[in-house]
Amino acid sequence: MLKIYGSPLCKDCVICKAELEKAGVEFLYLDITGNLLFLKQFLKLRERSEFDTVREKGQIGIPCLLREDGSLTFDWDEFVREKS
């Protein structure tokens, strides 16, 4: 199942979650600001090369979508398009 690391404090995360729900995409939302275990998991993911540009720009990198195959993306529109 698709996992989304995000925070209700992040405008993009709120939009991402709403758009995926509207499109009927099944996912597990992991709030990194409300659960230390999820924050630790996210920080481990943040060590991956997919976050290089994010780190260079001084950004956090949420929402972060972790696919079942272990690949990461920051583009939730891809999943919305698949359901359309």
DSSP 48: S
Contacts 24+ apart (CB under 8 A), 11-14: 12/62, 12/63, 13/62, 13/63
At 22, give phi and psi (nearest 5°).
-60, -35
Return the closest-CA partner of residue 42 out of 63, 27, 57, 24.
63
pTM of the model as a whole: 0.93
3-state class of 7 per DSSP? coil
List the chain pLDDT tens, one digit each, 84 residues: 999 999 999 999 999 999 999 999 999 999 999 999 999 999 999 999 999 999 999 999 999 999 999 999 999 998 888 877
